[in-house]
A = this chain, B = another copy of it.
Amino acid sequence: MLLPQLRSAVLDANLELVRRGLVLYTFGNASGIDRERGLVAIKPSGVPYDELRPEHMVITDLSGKIVEGTLRPSSDLPTHLVLYRAFPNVGGIAHTHSEHATAWAQARKAIPCLGTTHADYFHGPVPVTEPMTDAEIASAYEANTGEVIVRAVTPERAMAVPAVLVANHGPFAWGPDPAAAAHNAVILEAVARMAWITFGINSTAQQVQKALHDKHYLRKHGANAYYGQK
């Protein structure tokens, strides 16, 4: 069996989404990539989470050709592939319909950075994509979902803002590996929920000042990070 470690990591990322309450029934999917071999492992489509085993993960190449696996891959696979091709440092991707992030996506509003919880993970607002054109929806819909994400995030910003809201759909999050992708999806949901409540308390709440935003992001990321035990 190809890529047993990646299969396990992808399965674990999918299950983390369930454990954290981001998933209803079979919604949502996580994947991971082996950059050396150019192979992606992704959850199969529509299989109940409690039956998922590493061997159920579907292995494809970056064009979507199935290399190993008898189940259909998640129908969102083409979106994942566009992101892996456009964002070279991404090692894992998670897609959910988690309810607060999805509500922001349905509202077609970027989530502004209102506090340090957001700033610890996302260096700037979490953007929302443009709506897709009818033509983009009619043909290669899932791949075009990836394209509107790439336009909203840009490859330069992909590691500093590892999530996006697809307009009228829901969030995608990513990171250096599948566990980080799932972790960022969980944080995004918490940030989305707190932003909703914040505006409920103060409809003119302001983004954090740049100095505070940078401080928190750089406490956790980059050469001068000093959070945790590393």
Contact = CB atoms under 8 A, between A and B. Distances in A.
Nearest to A20: B24
A26 B169 CA distance: 30
Number of copies: 4
A46 interface: yes
Interface string A176-187: 000000010011
A27 interface: yes
B194 A99 contact: yes
B99 A201 contact: no
A97 B197 CA distance: 14
Q: Which of A104, A226, A229 has the most CB of B within 10 A?
A: A229
Contacts of A215: 137-138, 141
A113 to B, nearest CB: 9
A131 interface: yes
A114 interface: yes
Contact of A106 (B75, B134, B198): B198
Interface extent on A, as a size class?
Answer: 35 or more
A211 B215 CA distance: 43
Interface string A99-128: 110111111110000111100000000000
A219 B24 contact: no
A99 B97 CA distance: 20
A202 B141 contact: no
